[in-house]
Each structure stands twice: as structure tokens, then as C-alpha cells.
Amino acid sequence: MRKPAKFTRLDAILLLLTALGALALGYRIKVGLHYQWNWSAIPQYLFHLDPATGRWAPNLLMQGLFTTIRLSAWATVLATVIGTLAAFFRISSSLFKRMLGRTFVELIRNTPPLVLIFIFYFFVSDQIMPILAIDQLVKTASPGTRQVLTWLLAPPEQLPAFLSATVTVAMFEAAYITEIVRAGIQSIDRGQFEAAAALGFSRTQQMWYVILPQALQRILPPLAGQFISTIKDSAIVSVISIQELTFQGMELMAATHLIFECWITITALYLILTLTLSLAVSRLEQLLRRGLT
């Protein structure tokens, strides 16, 4: 059983040094850069009172946060599916599948994500979208359908760029998830496969009922780190004008010149997302550990 943590003298010293460092940095910004802090202006860019409804509504930063959440959620789901399939390709008995999975991993992981952004943006938006007639489907959709699409994905006029960004982030993260899942499966003792085969399980049943439940507990911590990385990596799609949190922050900073206030607020919002996900995964790990004991 883990011993309860104690607050030691060293912890107190480190906490004091951190506080002094933060104060010194704030002092240098104010005195050295002659920067005038204006935190009172930030709350209005989080929420504002809608004059049409008389209710509080999300403003620029919260709108960007919600877009980041949607983008990260869809990219995570897609990356998990692609990464898991590619991992099965990587451990397949078929040489062609193994080579295909290896090519995918090496090609994506060794290409800068900014390059991937532009490749997928111009390819998906200019080539795939006209074939699928996404724009036409959105234009002819009912107001209710358009509202649902806006809530789940993005406003209709931003949908092609949003889908391109989602695919790009998903493909980039899937390459890393592939190796995480592959390593987790291959870390299971070979005797587990043999025991499952001796019981008459097919290859699929071996994976589903015997191997994956054991591998899940091992791959969950690195997967959590990759999911958190997805949230952070989503900021790069701001270069194609996806109105996520970083893009909205840059727009707000350019308009108000509240440089430090904007970026500190954005950092705090990203931290809320990533820490919440980290705590949720830690809780899931505990539940899985109890279920296996």
C-alpha cells in the first residue's frame, strides 16, 4: 500500500523558490518591459451577455476552447481506430500487412506535422470534399441538421477545413498510437497466446478475450499521454484558420495587445483540459486494476 505523502522541508523550500521566481518574473515584465497588466479585461472574452437573449454566452476564448475540445475528441477517436488497425497490421503474419503498417508509421512520424497540415488541407479540401459533395450536403441540409453539425463539428462554412484538420491530427497521432498498441500486445507473454489457442479460441477470440484485456492496462498510461498530446498538437491547425483556442488567442492578442494576459489564460485553459483528462485516465487505471485483482 502506498504511504501517505508528507510535506517535507525540501518541499517548502521548492515551493518558496517557485513563488519567488514567479514574482521576479512578474516584476521584470512590469518594470523591465514597462508592461501594464489588465486582467480585468479578460473575463469579457470568456463569456459575454448576449443582448438578443439576455443570457451569458461563450465569447472568443471559450468558443475557441469548445472548438479545441471537438477537434481533439474526434481526432482522438479516429486516431485510436486507425492506430489500432495499423498495430494489428504491424504484428500480422502477412508480410504485406507488416510492411504497410511499418510504412505508415515511418512516413507519418518522420514528416513534420506542419507539412502534413498543408498536404491534408489542400488534398482533403480540394480533392476529397468535392467528390463526397460535403459542401452541397451541408447547404441543402435542414436548419436542425446544420445546428447539430455546428454543435458536433463546426459551422457549415468552416466544415471542410475542420475535417481536414481533424484527419491531419488523427493521422499524426495514429502513428504513435500504433506503436503503443503494438508494444502493449507484444509485451504479453507468449504463453497467454498458446493457452488461449489450447482452449480452442480463434485468433480473434484470443485477442478480444485474453490478450487485449491484459494489454489495455499496460498501454493505458502511454495512451493517456498521447491523448493529452492530441489536445496540445491541435494548436497547430491554427495555421489553416481553424478557430480553435490558439487561433482565437492570437486574434484577441492582436486586437487588444493583452499579450501576457491572453497567453496565460490560454495556458490555463489547456491545463484544465489536459489535467482533467489525466485525472480521468488515472481513475480508469484504478478501476481496471481492481477489476483484474
3-state helix, strand, coil in the chain (%, to 5): 80, 0, 15
Distance CA 179, CA 79 (A): 12
Contact 152, 73 (CB under 8 A): no
Distance CA 274, CA 262 (A): 18
Q: How far lies 46's CA from each of 65, 67, 72, 253, 276, in Å?
A: 10, 14, 20, 14, 19
Amino acid at 261: E
N- to C-terminal Cα distance for the chain?
14
pLDDT at 265 (0 to 100): 93
The secondary structure element, H or E, covering residue 289 is: helix 259-292
- Supply the DSSP symbol for 125: I
pLDDT at 102 (0 to 100): 92
Task: Kindly report the pTM of this predicted structure.
Answer: 0.83
Domain-by-domain residue ranges, the chain?
66-242
* The CATH homologous superfamily of the domain defined by 66-242: MetI-like (1.10.3720.10)
Continuous H helices in 91-153:
95-109, 113-123, 129-132, 134-139, 143-152
Question: Residue 8, Cβ neighbours under 10 Å: how many?
Answer: 9
Contact 254, 95 (CB under 8 A): no
pLDDT at 242 (0 to 100): 84
Mean pLDDT by 10 residues, the chain (293 residues): 69 90 81 78 87 83 92 93 92 90 91 84 72 70 80 81 86 92 86 79 78 82 87 87 88 88 92 89 77 59
The secondary structure element, H or E, covering residue 185 is: helix 159-186
* Buried b / exposed e along 251-285 (16+ C-beta atoms within 10 A): bbbeeeebebbbeebbeebbeebbeebeeebeeee
Amino acid at 215: A
